[in-house]
Structure 1
């Protein structure tokens, strides 16, 4: 019925522009603010453990589920739904709640709390959390997600704007071991990490056709960061093998281990890492400083940011 209405429907130029601009709303969130992210972009957030990747995902999620304006108060959100697929099974929901509450209080000027509960509840209705424990559950989730999202869009008028995956390489070692196990039947396609990721990419592409959105996936550097001996030894590999893990100066950041189906699917890539630097907030409080660097597109700029209770903030 919806398809027939779209085919038979008509709209003015003003209505068309309003619809297109709404669909192309960009996502600007630190430290991903240097390149506006639009529907159809697939962002890979790569870095070692403890580099604040999940904190950045939480920041982006809160920016999406907050309203543009509520009861005359501007919050600057996108007022869209977010799907968070947790493959690491380590998301702290209380941390998401904390950032959301502080952002609401900040918008209120820490004053009027009369509508706090209603706004808080409305925002959380736009956040969908899914936990998967293996690649098969991940694939099953992607295959069945369309019906859930369609129901929410029809019932509540909520459209998907951001699909998050934390972390896309979570089952790397498990799937590598499983690929050596025999399968019943001669006609079955062999199980492997490459096959599973290829199938996942195809399902995400199908989902984006029906529910246009931004995809942000975190990925751990399982071979260590730039200070690791293992990473330094990878300098002997060919330029082709390391092309997704080098800076312009040729220094190795990490070794790429994802299959080509995923690598070719990614449109943007940001490398994040921790540091030994601290920002002195007060005489008794010091904030760890993190670094972020755009690899795709390569911007040649190293940004600094910190993680506070209210989210991620850039450091001059």
Structure 2
């Protein structure tokens, strides 16, 4: 009896082995600015909130490019994750030509030491990266739910084909169907015995399906959301208020089930003062969840996202 109890409580692995396994399966992801300040890993759900034209989609594109780029290729270091990235386009504004242009620019930039490669890129590598980029477009909440219901099989199929798993799931933008779902009356799906299709039910199912995906696939969820300010302050005023004490007043409109699902939240906004970067728009970031006492200022161009002082 005593030996049976000892066998039952005997550890399967040491603490060192457990940490090694966890950091191998769910490592910290090398994300580009401004997502690099906090250690993010698969299993986290990051919400990038901000008003329209604040660089949210560009940040997601750069994160997806970092995911699909290889660690190295033919002796050239790219520093990518070499994993699959899934981009779910919910507002139907994704520009694939812009994405491919950004990817080509990254490939050219990595070979910048070679004079012949300053305007050329490896087409084989470009095709390899694009195969790891999975794009899905949804026009309403029903299509979004259907996509999530079938995503597990699709990801497993792609993993078997390409030999690598997914590390990044992008949702752009999570609140795209909010106003449509809120305006429509509750619909009974499948007869009177089924639940009515309402905004709350839709978001509950979205969160449940995402939770199931996170259990099976070690991926990071990045979701954009258009924010609504609680007052008429400018972005610079909001950031000044943040540094001096009070947090920006954002009017939260997503259901509470989504709010509790998010583990990290960052707010981005365009700045009215470009400083020495007159030809480029300057943007401000502030981590809301977790609450940290620093903010970043950055610019966006073809080379990526760059922090400025």
Tell me if both proteins adopt one fold, taking TM over 0.5 as the criterion. Answer: yes
**Per-residue deviation at 1:107?**
0.8
CA displacement 1:194-246 (0-9 Å, x = unmatched): 1101101101111111111000000001x3475269xxxxxxxxxxxxxxxx9
Aligned twin of 2:289: 296
**Per-residue deviation at 1:158?**
1.9
**Per-residue deviation at 1:24?**
2.4
Aligned-partner Cα distance in 2 for 1:60–1:33: 10
Aligned twin of 1:70: 73
1:25 counterpart = 2:27: yes
1:1-316 equivalent positions in 2, closer than 5 A = 20-27=22-29, 28-109=31-112, 111=114, 113=117, 116-180=122-186, 185-221=191-227, 223-224=228-229, 226-227=231-232, 249-281=245-277, 286-316=279-309
- Given that 2:26 and 2:218 are in contact with CA atoms closer than 8 Å, whether structure 1 keeps it comes out as no
- Given that 2:89 and 2:137 are in contact with CA atoms closer than 8 Å, whether structure 1 keeps it comes out as yes
- Given that 1:247 and 1:253 are in contact with CA atoms closer than 8 Å, whether structure 2 keeps it comes out as no
- Change in 2 beyond 3 A, CA 1:188/1:75: same
- Given that 2:243 and 2:294 are in contact with CA atoms closer than 8 Å, whether structure 1 keeps it comes out as no
- Change in 2 beyond 3 A, CA 1:247/1:220: farther
Q: Secondary structure at the match of 1:286?
A: coil
Quote the RMSD (CA, aligned, Å).
Answer: 2.7
CA displacement 1:294-315 (0-9 Å, x = unmatched): 0011112111011101221111
Unaligned 5+ runs, structure 2: 1-11, 235-241
After the TM superposition, list the runs of 4 or more consecutive aligned residues in structure 1 that deviate by more than 6 angstroms. Answer: 10-18
**Per-residue deviation at 1:169?**
0.4
Which TM-score applies when normalising by structure 1? 0.83
Unaligned 5+ runs, structure 1: 1-9, 230-245
- Given that 1:279 and 1:288 are in contact with CA atoms closer than 8 Å, whether structure 2 keeps it comes out as no
Q: How many residues align?
A: 287
**Per-residue deviation at 1:180?**
4.4
**Per-residue deviation at 1:62?**
0.6
Aligned-partner Cα distance in 1 for 2:275–2:284: 13
